[in-house]
Chain A
Amino acid sequence: MSKTIYEKMRTIPDGYLALLSFLFMLIPILYPLGLPVTISNTTKGYYDALMNLPAGSIIMWEGGGGMGYWDEFEASLTATFKVLFSLPVKFLYWGTGSDAPVMADIILKKIDVKGFNKEYGRDYLILGYIPGGETTMAAIAGDTHGVATQDYYGNDLSQYPLWAECRNYQDYAIVISVSTSCVNMDSQARQWHAIYGKKILEINMACCSPMAVVYFPDIMPGGLWGAKGGTELEVLSGFPGPGARISDASNLGIMPFLVFLVLTNIGYIGSRYISKEKEIAK
Chain B
Amino acid sequence: MTLGELAAAWFYLFFSAAILSYLWKLNIVYRIAEAFSVGGAMAHSLITLYGGTIESFCFNPIKAGQLQRIIPVALGLMIFFRLTRRYAWVARYPTVVLTGVGTGVLFGATFDAQILSQIGMTASMFTTMDLLSAIFTFISVVTVLTYFIYTHEHKGPLGISARLGRVFAMFSFGMNFAGEIIWYMTLVVGILINWVEKAINPLLGL
Contacts and interface: CB of A to CB of B under 8 A. Distances in A.
Contact of B105 (A135, A152, A205, A226): A135
B113 A207 contact: no
A246 B190 contact: yes
Contacts of B8: none
Given A134-B105, A150-B60, A29 B182 contact: no
Contacts of B185: 21, 25, 249-250, 253-254
Contact of A154 (B44, B45, B56): B56
A207 B180 contact: yes
Interface stretch (B26-34, B88-96, B145-153, B170-178): B170-178
Interface in B113-131: 113-114, 117-118, 120-121, 124, 128
A8 interface: no
Given A98-B49, A190-B110, A206-B183, A218 B188 contact: no
B192 interface: yes
Given A129-B48, A149-B56, A254-B181, A22 B113 contact: no
Looking at chain B's contact residues, the main secondary structure is helix
A205 B183 contact: yes
A186 interface: yes
Contact of B112 (A194, A210, A211): A194
A30 B23 contact: no
Contact of B182 (A14, A135, A226): A226
Contacts of A134: 102, 105-106
B192 A29 contact: yes
A93 to B, nearest CB: 14
Contacts of A154: 56
Interface string B52-64: 1100110011001
A19 to B, nearest CB: 9
A129 B51 CA distance: 10
A257 interface: yes
A63 interface: no
A71 B181 contact: no
B101 interface: yes
A71 B53 contact: no
A98 B109 contact: no
A148 B180 CA distance: 35
Contacts of A208: 176, 179
Interface range for A: 35 or more
Contacts of A26: 192, 196
Contact of A128 (B53, B180, B189): B53
Contacts of B136: none
Interface string B68-104: 0000000000000000000000000000000001100
A195 B193 contact: no
A72 interface: yes
Nearest to A129: B52
B27 to A, nearest CB: 14
26 contacts: A14-B23, A22-B188, A30-B196, A71-B190, A72-B187, A98-B53, A101-B52, A150-B56, A187-B106, A190-B109, A190-B114, A191-B105, A195-B108, A206-B183, A207-B179, A207-B182, A209-B175, A209-B179, A211-B176, A214-B118, A214-B121, A218-B121, A245-B193, A246-B186, A249-B189, A250-B186
The 10 lowest CB-CB distance pairs between A and B, nearest first, are A71-B190, A207-B179, A190-B109, A206-B179, A189-B113, A194-B113, A194-B109, A207-B180, A194-B112, A249-B189
Interface of B: 23-24, 44-45, 48-49, 52-53, 56-57, 60-61, 64, 66, 101-102, 105-106, 108-110, 112-114, 117-118, 120-121, 124, 128, 172, 175-183, 185-190, 192-193, 196
